[in-house]
Structure 1
Amino acid sequence: MEKFSSRFKCGVSLLTAAILPLTSQPLQAAQDTVQNSIEDEIVLEEIMVTGSRIKRRSLDSPTPVAVIGAEDLAFSGKLNLGDYLSELPQLGSTFTTANSTRFIGTAGGSFLDLRRLGSVRTLVLVDGRRHVGSSAGDTRVDINTIPSDLIERVEVITGGASAIYGSDAVTGVVNFILKENYEGLTARAQYGLADEGPYDSYHLSLTGGGNFNDDRGNAVLSVEWAEESRVKNTDREFSSRRYRLVNNPDDTGPDDGIPDQFYRPNSGISFITKAGTIFFDLGSLMTFDPDGSVRDQVLGTDFGGFECMDCDFLDLDEVSDLRPSLQRLSLNGKFTYDLTEDISVFAEAKYVNTQTFNLGQPAFDFFGSAITIQRDNAFLKSDLAALMDDAGVTEIGINRFNVDAGRRGEDNERQTHRIVAGFKGDLGEAWTWEASYSFGRSTQILTAINNRINDRWTAATDAVVDPATGEIVCRVTLEDSDNSLLDGCIPTSIFGDGAVNAASEAWFNQDTIRRDTIEQQVASAFISGSVYELPAGDLDVAVGIEWRKDTSLSKPAPLDSAGLTFGNALQVTSGEIEVKEAFGEISVPVLKDAPFAESLMLDAAIRYADYDTSSDKNTTWKVGGTWQPISDVRFRATYSKAVRAPNIGELFGPQDANFFSVDDPCKTSELDLIADPARRSNREANCAALGVAPDFDSDYDQATLPGLSGGNPDLEVETAKTWTAGVVVTPRFLDGFSATVDWWQVTIDDAISSTDAQDILDRCVDAESINNIFCPLITRDSTDEITNILQIQANIAGLEASGVDFDITYNISGIANTDGMLSLKLMGTYLLYNRDFPFQDEPDNPDREDGELGDPEWLMNFTATYYSGPWTFNYKLRFIDDMLRVEHEDFEASPEEQELIHTGTVTYSDIQLRYQIRDGIEVYGGVNNIFEKNPPLPFDATGGDSGIYDNVGRFFYTGVTATF
């Protein structure tokens, strides 16, 4: 993990030292350069705007498009694009660097999530083309693979765009536009350091390019290195506070004005500890001192439910990371060449290597899986032996959080290769065309650190004295075992924190490796231009075809596949999806320079897809238009049908063994609990139709029944209807001002989801008949007992969200009669609702997300940038609205469920100052989170919802950019 680190840190220092001596007196040209760059951004050129293959200006698009320029990225001071983009109001903070360790193999990944409706429903493009995914089983793109210094702008279209780009663009598209025809050489170095704790970051990049052969060709190469250090919970005061939400002993009941629960410091759960916890029928918990002797466990203030304060408790903060370490090397090349005046060839190539490392919780054992210790254990102290004899037991169970047996973690290396090649050109003055092919491959080598082999752990802790030698050995060593996995067993004590010996730890732990490979091929061609000149303007069309093939293979370590390790029992997952598509788009000018209609345009698009999976054939479409009654105001609206085809993991994920704790709804004892006669009669009829005897009453109560969980090859596409309607205001009397306000709505049907096992059973027999999707998932034997439950992905859920986006920009020249310019920008979203329907056939039972943690009603970013001569000053304010810490349903039922039930509003302030020392040489520095806003108690911003907050703290950075 550290092999590149020292040389690139040294490189940052050398580059800075080499550039600074070049400085001299500020050039007058610096002011002109800044002024010209601002004016260039204000000019609205006709370009290929995301969401259409017909050229137009961004404000003329019928679909809302938010544009983030390269300058916006530079002002953020962030080295991770995903962390910056997740702060946009339209995007959720579902997967940032801070909260990327929640799932196996995702550490360090940044996946975008428009509208918080699922990152698999957001399509990421580079220069309007698909990019190979970074997550096995799906097509999500890790934003770390995008070259930050080559970005010209980022366009975010926040409406369904399947008719233009195909599957996955349900909630929208994020399109990274890279620089074209780059000339010159630019070097950039940046270093940042957090005010609290050891977090720092480095960036070093070099981008060079130029024209050749009489300007017919252009080539550019960009190399980037970035590094971010690992941050542990204990490195921050706010994440090592040991606060826990516990029952309030002063609570007297509902509506008493007293919170049912409150937060208390130095609190935790007492039923499991690092030293080990024993349950005796002696009325108390017991634990161990470091020397292995047993003592009563300190319970301090007991709040019930094994929660206590100032006690012997499990401290999870001690063994968690806030952020993984991340190192990224990126090489990107682009090439274009004019074969003739009308035909050009282009090519792109990239290689990205990303390495991440993090540690988390160790393996643990409690209750049903507690460590069993026999009376003859060789490490047993006499005091515990006497207690066992007094209790008349020959074995005890110990709950233990095995920190001294090695913390588990991930060492993850990802590599991305991608090539794009194609031709483009003009056909006369009115038509353009393009044909391209791309191939991408992402590989991931995931090393699971300290992955415990369970049988070895059990054998090592079952230590006895060898009667022949008097030495302590594993019991299995004295037995005639045919399990070769246990050969060489090394015994260990587990009595007390620090008792596990290193030799035994090395024997029962193993670093296991999972290997993932994702490949994508895309061949596409389209032509765009004007087919007819109408009185109001040109009738423009675009038509094209596309072929795409995605493959994915995930191979876990054999020990994991066999279910022999502490981690999940993972199986090989593989599959491929191939699709052939044809698409078309039309833009019709209806009126121009007419009364109350300076312009009226109608747009439509359609896409036909033929999949080789259960998705089969489907059609998506979009209609929209713009109406400009006067030059200052433009109204726009779209309505579309979008789709998402199931991905490889959802279709072909292996159906692995599982166990479910459920009640059989056909038991007479369960039927007797139903108060509604109609419901009972309906259930009895359905149980009879299933062949269950009317007097059946299983011997299993809350039984743990076997089953399978996994993918479903019969899944169909998700469908969505999306609306947008808004207005664009560019008043002539207020030069430099523009404002857009857009209402949007997304409704997703047949969303892919899995169902709880108990719900599968209940919904089978509570439906109108047994002819439903749930009954075939249940298998019974000849005695009517359930022998298998199949828990698979299905098209059963629904999602819907709606809100209002606004984007207001005002550029003011000649501030205070000077040559300065002030640029103001306010971007925000007001969330009207975000609802999840676990079962779409129950529209009256939504799970509200709006206003809950992670989904604030108001999200706003305000920036002010002042340009004066060689100086540039930027200020950014990020506003996060107050949110509920609990579910809406819980809050409505009990507004006093807990103290601090609301998060309160949070604002972050960032500043940056840039100075152009001379033409081409610029230095900058900034501070993010100036006022050191920590996440609200007790969050550490590592969750999928709490990730909306910052957990780096006040962050200083400085850098230098040199352009030659």
Structure 2
Amino acid sequence: MNFNPQTNARFVKKLLCGASLGALATMIAGQALAQAPATEEVTVTATGTSIKGIAPVGTNLITVDAADIKATGAITTEEILGQIPQLANTFNTQTVSPTAINIGGVRPSIRYNPAQNILGLSSTLVLLDGHNLVGVSGLATTPDAGLIPTIVLQRVDVIPDGASSIYGANAIAGVINFVTRETYQGFQANISAGVADGYSAFNAGMMVGTDWGTGGVYGAFEHKENTYLMARDRSYTKMDLTGIGGRDSRGTSCDLANISVPGAQPNNYALTSNQVGFAPGSLKAAASGPFGALNATTNAGSLNRCDTNSYASLFPREEQNSFFGQFHQRIMPGVEFSTKFLWSTRLDSAINPELSATNVAIDNTNPYFQSINGETTQNVSFAFGPFWGSQSVTDYNNVQEFQITPKLTVDLPFGDWQAIATFNYGRSNTTGFNRSVNTALLAQSMRRSVVAGTLSPALVASPSLAGNAVDPYNLTAGNPLLIDNILNTGSYGKAIQHQIQWGGQANGTLFSLPGGDVKAALGGQWAFEDYVANWNTNWPIGTVAGPAAPGAQMAIARPHRITNTGFAEINVPIVGKDNELPFVHALTFNVSGRIDSYSDFGNTENYKIGISYEPFEALTIRATNGTSYDAPSLADTAAPDTRFTYTAQRTAANTNVPPGTSAADALRPSISTPGGNPQLGPETGRTWSIGGDFHPTTELGVDLSGLTVSITAFHTKFEHQQGLILNNPGLLFSGAYNQYYILNPTLAQVQARYPTNFNAAGNATVATTGFPGPDLASAFNTPGVNQPYILYDLRRNNLGEALIEGLDIALNYTTDIEDFGSLSGGFSGTFTTTNTNTPAPGLAAINLVQYSFPLSAMTAFVAATVGPVTGRVTVNYSPGFNVSPVLNQALSLYGQKRIEAFHPVNLFVSYDLSGLAPWLADSEASVAMNNVGDDSPPIYLS
């Protein structure tokens, strides 16, 4: 099984490999409050509406409040999100903050839609107190939910339904709103420590505040850190699964090199030493073989192998510090000023396998070259560990975020109307570094070649500075500075993002009906956002200007946009307590609409209709219908990874060509254009839901006042999905993707992919990789070089559609038992009945429900409080699912038809210390154990 510590290429691997830390124990202690915190005002603006004092109408609002957070033992926002089944990519997993320089941060996703996790946008909007958070990451503009401190949270609201009519962009799937305390008086401190096999974590937080009647202030600090968890400490990360019928995925670029010699089979050799002498015959004496190729099914063979997973961290080392503050003051009767701010910084470091090189060509132009059987060229695979002195390298990612949201609220002189003016400013700074091999410099150091139309210098074998040749059989020979230059290289990304929003709105009662007050809200907003990114590849470490080495590339992006918004909402209670009818206890109708005008791609208009009907007090039937959209991310329209990539004449036929391609054309060069797309348009979505909530009191003489039951049917359709074309010949050349490739392209057609990325001289201002000369034209006018046969458009594009339907179910019951205490239990889950993805118009829909996707996600708990002791047992359940016969080799190679379920059991026990001493009032100690059975994720024979 391959484990990639930088990316989770498949949802399956993230779910099944990242889900368990083994047995994790946590201790939490709290210190008493000086006074009980003030009660939060009930007439606040709820999540899902712009009107103050009402609940969202028709919407299935999922709330995790402070009591729920405490009861689960969650101490980070990632752990809170991991308890909500509707959040497909965080539920029942240990979410990892990526250290990659591209798309980093904690990006929760409502529902499972694979297209939503590969680009810079997100269809799930993350808010802080109803306001947008600034984006973070190198290739994304989405917020990082992991930067929010948990100590200040009042609750977390989730609306798994379209919400663009209220909140604007990026809300097709729904909204997650982190709601913080409005006021706090007293002092609180939390300390926790966690341990697992090969892993430990520490968290500490404190909060202090005061309230003086007309105003108040509080501040909070939270620190969290954890150690590396090495993959070798979890048996399920091993790469050789042949013992259980799987594949041997161990690498062949190891400390002991492997050599492939052109010619008849068998032609592979495994070295027995990584310090081969230079005397004639030394290489042949150190080479065992020849061996045949690796087995096509099991990947087994006699070559040198190394389990590179064992050198890598499964979870990165992390350290995060966060400050949060709130201030509010009544300036005069009817006028109040308030503000909240967040400052957070996080440093992640991941250990990755040693740097290596695979099938690098060497020939007799290299003075270190040695022949085994008279050949003049070889392909060598090796690792740099013997030179580096380590089998691992470390990558880093650092995020800093600042957010401040001052607000002025003024009571207007008519009725209960209020005017609210808001300013929202955010800034983030994301930097990341991933060490890599400078493959261009390595290739030039292994053999002479033509670079940019010129033959590279003659190679010299010398340990002095004059040495410019690499000895792959003994890396310690030759010039050590040369190897340093090859290895002291990496990909460096930096992105600074700004968000500025000025908004104003008024809300209040328009008039009264027998059913209640008709309330409305209307307002507008001006918003500015930018994305300032540098993307350096093959970049020498410590170099700030360049390029300074072969293959070094620098890309810069400076896009920005301005958005003007107008919105309105009206809430009409047709039937209420004063005019209720038989079987019509209450009936409420709500309509909201919003227009957003973008400076870069135009206007969007969205609406939402909500209806709430109560046939009697204990039952609410609700429904919604609306439209939403996801704006294209600035990191996708003007992406710094934009580039032209050239693949030279092949020695083996290109399989990604149309049917009927001649053998000669299949060998010709190709050009691809990955990167941003200035013409990228918004995704659009249509959503509806219908459901009910049953919250009885006493029915048929039975007290059911502690019971709540909720069920919701949902429908979410994504249109014009932003994504990447599938690199699958059967789909690419099916007719639906005709616009995304060109046969026998001209230079003008290649340039037209990025028409604005050329200077006055006609040279590309973005990266160009692999071309035979210094510019794009070299692919067409270099003597002896065939012109390219095919151009692939690998930019972000608006492609197909997705449809997700299913049921959300929740049941909770709490009761007090005389002479015992209290007992509670609950169940919540989401059940997918339809999940289809159409890669492009005209193609058949892919049914994700049938294969490669869990149909449901569930959690259940039982809790009891007896005296000072509270205990809770929680089971999170991710069901098994079938393996796709088309997309997965687990079935085609090994006959594995199904991935089994994963259902860890978590335990939380707390003890109220208040009765032990007066100074321990309102304090408690607790222990949380996650995955008490130390269950390993099920095996996936990838």
> Shared fold (TM-score greater than 0.5)?
yes
The match for 1:740 is 710
2:437 maps to 1:452? yes
The match for 1:590 is 574
Q: Distance in 2 between matches of 1:308 and 1:531?
A: 75
Q: Distance in 2 between matches of 1:661 and 1:600?
A: 68
Q: Distance in 1 between matches of 2:606 and 2:743?
A: 31
The match for 2:486 is 508
2:403 maps to 1:418? yes
Task: Name whichever structure is richer in helix by fraction.
Answer: 1
The match for 1:250 is none
Q: Distance in 1 between matches of 2:478 and 2:615?
A: 78
Task: Give the counterpart of 1:810 among 813, 816, 825.
Answer: 813
2:605 maps to 1:602? no
* 1:759 Cα offset (Å): 6.8
* 1:625 Cα offset (Å): 0.2
Say whether the 8 Å CA contact 1:662–1:757 is kept in structure 2.
Answer: no
The match for 1:374 is 364
The match for 2:22 is none
The match for 1:750 is 720
The match for 2:822 is 821
**Amino acid in the other structure paired with 2:815:** I
Say whether the 8 Å CA contact 2:901–2:938 is kept in structure 1.
Answer: no
2:542 maps to 1:530? no
**Amino acid in the other structure paired with 2:337:** V
The match for 1:229 is 227
What does residue range 377-776 of structure 1 map to in structure 2 within 5 Å?
A: 377-378=367-368, 385=371, 387=372, 391-404=373-386, 406=388, 407-427=392-412, 430-449=416-435, 451-458=436-443, 476=459, 493-495=471-473, 505-510=483-488, 512=490, 513-557=492-536, 559-560=538-539, 571-592=555-576, 593-614=580-601, 616-654=602-640, 655-659=642-646, 673=660, 699-733=664-698, 734-756=704-726, 766=735
After superposition, the C-alpha distances for 1:197-254 in whole angstroms (9 at most, x for unaligned) are: 2x10001111101023xx21211110111001111111223323632599xxxxxxxx
* SS of aligned partner of 1:304: coil
The match for 2:314 is 322
Q: Distance in 2 between matches of 1:796 and 1:713?
A: 15
* SS of aligned partner of 1:841: coil
Distance 1:47 1:113, change over 3 A: same
> Structure 1 residues 492-501 or 74-83, which shifts more?
492-501
* 1:77 Cα offset (Å): 3.5
Size of the aligned set, in residue pairs, is: 824
The match for 1:200 is 200
**Amino acid in the other structure paired with 1:657:** F
The match for 1:211 is 211
The match for 2:847 is 848
* SS of aligned partner of 2:141: coil
Q: Distance in 1 between matches of 2:62 and 2:270?
A: 59
**Amino acid in the other structure paired with 2:77:** L
RMSD of Structure 2 on Structure 1 (CA): 4.0
The match for 1:336 is 328
After superposition, the C-alpha distances for 1:75-109 in whole angstroms (9 at most, x for unaligned) are: 344443124314421012269765554853456x2
Q: Distance in 2 between matches of 1:640 and 1:750?
A: 17
Say whether the 8 Å CA contact 1:489–1:507 is kept in structure 2.
Answer: no
The match for 1:48 is 45
After superposition, the C-alpha distances for 1:26-68 in whole angstroms (9 at most, x for unaligned) are: xxx99x99xx99xx99xx966532111224565x731111001
Q: Distance in 2 between matches of 1:928 and 1:500?
A: 52
Distance 1:356 1:56, change over 3 A: same
Distance 1:243 1:430, change over 3 A: same
Say whether the 8 Å CA contact 1:780–1:787 is kept in structure 2.
Answer: no
Task: Give the counterpart of 2:259 among 272, 275, 278.
Answer: 278
The match for 2:832 is 831
* 1:344 Cα offset (Å): 0.8
* 1:315 Cα offset (Å): 1.9
Say whether the 8 Å CA contact 1:356–1:412 is kept in structure 2.
Answer: yes
TM-score (norm 2): 0.79
The match for 1:882 is 880
TM-score (norm 1): 0.78
Q: Distance in 1 between matches of 2:630 and 2:657?
A: 40
Say whether the 8 Å CA contact 2:438–2:551 is kept in structure 1.
Answer: no
The match for 2:906 is 910
Q: Distance in 2 between matches of 1:881 and 1:909?
A: 14
The match for 2:70 is 74
Q: Distance in 1 between matches of 2:896 and 2:314?
A: 23
* 1:923 Cα offset (Å): 0.9
Distance 1:202 1:99, change over 3 A: closer
Q: Distance in 2 between matches of 1:139 and 1:627?
A: 39
What does residue range 234-313 of structure 1 map to in structure 2 within 5 Å?
A: 234-240=232-238, 242-243=240-241, 262-263=245-246, 267-268=248-249, 272-280=253-261, 281=263, 283-290=266-273, 291-292=275-276, 294-296=286-288, 303-304=295-296, 307-308=299-300, 312-313=304-305
After superposition, the C-alpha distances for 1:680-732 in whole angstroms (9 at most, x for unaligned) are: xxxxxxxxxxxxxxxxx794224331232222212222111001110110112
Q: Which runs of 5+ in 2 are unaligned?
A: 1-26, 277-282, 449-456, 540-544, 699-703, 749-779, 781-785, 915-920
After superposition, the C-alpha distances for 1:434-486 in whole angstroms (9 at most, x for unaligned) are: 2111111110222333x3333443465579xxxxxxxxxx964589xxxxxx9
* 1:901 Cα offset (Å): 2.4
Say whether the 8 Å CA contact 1:268–1:314 is kept in structure 2.
Answer: no
* SS of aligned partner of 2:591: strand
Q: Distance in 2 between matches of 1:173 and 1:49?
A: 13
* 1:417 Cα offset (Å): 1.2
Distance 1:596 1:405, change over 3 A: farther
**Amino acid in the other structure paired with 1:610:** S
* 1:818 Cα offset (Å): 2.0
The match for 2:279 is none
The match for 1:7 is none
The match for 1:871 is 869
* 1:497 Cα offset (Å): 9.0
Q: Distance in 1 between matches of 2:323 and 2:657?
A: 63
* 1:286 Cα offset (Å): 0.9
Q: Distance in 2 between matches of 1:762 and 1:811?
A: 55
**Amino acid in the other structure paired with 2:838:** F
After superposition, the C-alpha distances for 1:365-401 in whole angstroms (9 at most, x for unaligned) are: 334xx141538644x6xxx64x2xxx33223221224
Say whether the 8 Å CA contact 2:525–2:566 is kept in structure 1.
Answer: yes
Task: Give the counterpart of 2:128 among 126, 129, 133.
Answer: 126
What does residue range 84-95 of structure 1 map to in structure 2 within 5 Å?
A: 84-93=80-89
Say whether the 8 Å CA contact 1:97–1:324 is kept in structure 2.
Answer: no
Q: Distance in 2 between matches of 1:219 and 1:89?
A: 35
The match for 1:791 is 794
Say whether the 8 Å CA contact 2:909–2:926 is kept in structure 1.
Answer: yes
Q: Distance in 2 between matches of 1:332 and 1:567?
A: 44
Say whether the 8 Å CA contact 1:138–1:649 is kept in structure 2.
Answer: yes
Say whether the 8 Å CA contact 1:542–1:586 is kept in structure 2.
Answer: yes
Q: Which runs of 5+ in 1 are unaligned?
A: 1-15, 24-28, 247-261, 464-473, 480-485, 675-696, 940-945, 947-964
Say whether the 8 Å CA contact 2:242–2:298 is kept in structure 1.
Answer: no
**Amino acid in the other structure paired with 1:203:** N
